[in-house]
Amino acid sequence: MLNIERQHARTLYGIETRISDDPAAQIGAVWQKFLSENLADDIPERLDDLLIAMYFNYEGEPSDPYHFFLGCEVGDVACVQDGFALRTIPVGNYAEFLAVGKMPAALVETWQQIWKADLKRNFAADFEIHDPATPDQVAIYVGVI
């Protein structure tokens, strides 16, 4: 049975890119930059150690261009450093999925199942919560109407 949860708005601080041609390579490059440069350490007012990936600004179908963001949830942030962005996950209803297994393969497989599912998506934002304490599990939240 599909689990729909009402999620509160979350303010995120991190880095982003526009995804168009090769999503796997482009998203992988953002992850590589974030982790190799330890960018989480540069995020002020970080609430916890969770990493949040957000997909937003969809230009139509999931295969059309969209934006990908990777960062952390933050409290009050007065200003944003060069090279970083501040974004908000909108409050709303989200279908919850759990990717379990070796990453990123388990994550890709779960997203493939989501794309095939009969969901009434709102395409406002989808997000993943990556907990370093459980690296073989990723919670995925897909915005629904």
Per-residue pLDDT, 5: 94
- Of the pLDDT bands very low, low, confident and very high (cuts 50, 70, 90), residue 63 is confident
Judged against a pLDDT cut of 90, whether residue 85 lies above it is answered with yes
Write the CATH number for 16. 3.20.80.10
Cα dihedral 110, 36, 11, 97, rounded to 10, equals 10
**Residue written as tokens 């450093």?**
81
Averaged pLDDT for residues 26-44: 95
Averaged pLDDT for residues 71-81: 91
Per-residue pLDDT, 110: 97
CA 27 → CA 17, 22, 119, distances in Å? 8, 9, 23
Judged against a pLDDT cut of 90, whether residue 79 lies above it is answered with no
Per-residue pLDDT, 61: 75
Judged against a pLDDT cut of 70, whether residue 71 lies above it is answered with yes
What average pLDDT does the chain have?
94
Residue ranges making up the domain that contains 116: 3-144
Q: Is the dihedral of CA 27, 127, 118, 109 positive or negative?
A: positive
Per-residue pLDDT, 78: 83
Q: How many domains does the chain have?
A: 1
Judged against a pLDDT cut of 90, whether residue 142 lies above it is answered with yes
**Which residues lie across from 140 on neighbouring strands?**
97, 128
Averaged pLDDT for residues 97-112: 96
Judged against a pLDDT cut of 70, whether residue 9 lies above it is answered with yes
pLDDT tens per residue, range 109-125: 999 999 999 999 999 99
- Of the pLDDT bands very low, low, confident and very high (cuts 50, 70, 90), residue 1 is low
